Amino acid sequence: MRVAFQGERGANSEEAVFRVFGEQAEPVPCPDLVQTFDAVVSHRADGAVVPVENSQAGSINETYDLLLGHDLYIVGEYDLRVRHYLMAPPGLALEQITRAYSHPQALAQCDAFLRTHGIEPVVYGDTAGSAKMVAERRPAGAAAIAPRRAADIYRLHVLAEGIETNPNNYTRFLVLDPRPAPRAQRSKTSIVFVVENRPGTLYQAIGAIATRGINVAKIESRPGRQRPWEYVFYLDVDGHVDDDAMRAALADLRRHTSMLRVLGSYPKAEPPAVA
């Protein structure tokens, strides 16, 4: 199984690939999310695992925009517990580290540790890319903040582990495939729609779901691309698209929307553990 992900080898997205598909998966690294989606469309990969939301930083808007622009199905989800590790070339001790390179979100999530140890945060492209750069260039007194797998790949020594300030740090990943997922016992369905900009339209759209006892797990709005100040709404709801209640809700929803698309029905992930 060739699975595309965004980032360098050792990224959290690659870790999510192995968690979902097992160590036998063949990861296909891509420089950005656009090329991650395109890798599946062009058959360079059989599927993809992409981040959609972080419990600390919020939604990843680019993923939502790309979901609308590609004919791919969401076939699964996975909540990855994000742990940050401080790593450096062998021979350096923690006391010798003066700078730490990483993605800005990772640096922000480790701010307490960095302040305590007097380490200057330095923004770099991404976590695994920071590890790769530190391993190759070896800047004086420099370390990287990245996932544990990156230390193994780039032969770095872990100086400190679990350095994130908040242990309840999760990233939700979506699994993408050109084909829909088989029906699961516990399902979630993701839909996207557009309503006309007049009083009551969003209320009527949500009501089509709520009056049938379907739980709305999440709602997200994004600017539309066709008209200024038109918004696209993304909903995650509990249930499968073939459930009787869901069929009725979608039929009603079509009466109140100018565009409606089901992005996929897929197995619902277990809620993450809280530290």
Catalytic residue IDs:
171, 173
Distance of alpha carbon 149 from alpha carbon 68, whole angstroms? 32
Please name the residues in contact with 51: beta carbons below 8 A apart, sequence gap of 6 or more.
6, 12, 13, 16, 60, 63, 171, 172, 173, 174
Nearest one of 43, 62, 40, 35 to 51, comparing CA atoms: 62
Degrees to nearest 5, angle at CA 37 with 34 and 40: 145
> For residue 22, what are its two tokens?
């097992």
Please name the residues in contact with 235: beta carbons below 8 A apart, sequence gap of 6 or more.
190, 191, 192, 193, 209, 216, 218, 219, 220
Q: Phi and psi dihedrals of 5, rounded to 5? A: -150, 160
Regarding beta strands 85-88 and 187-194, do their DSSP bridges make them parallel or antiparallel, or are they unpaired? unpaired
Neighbours of 213 (CB within 10 A): 10
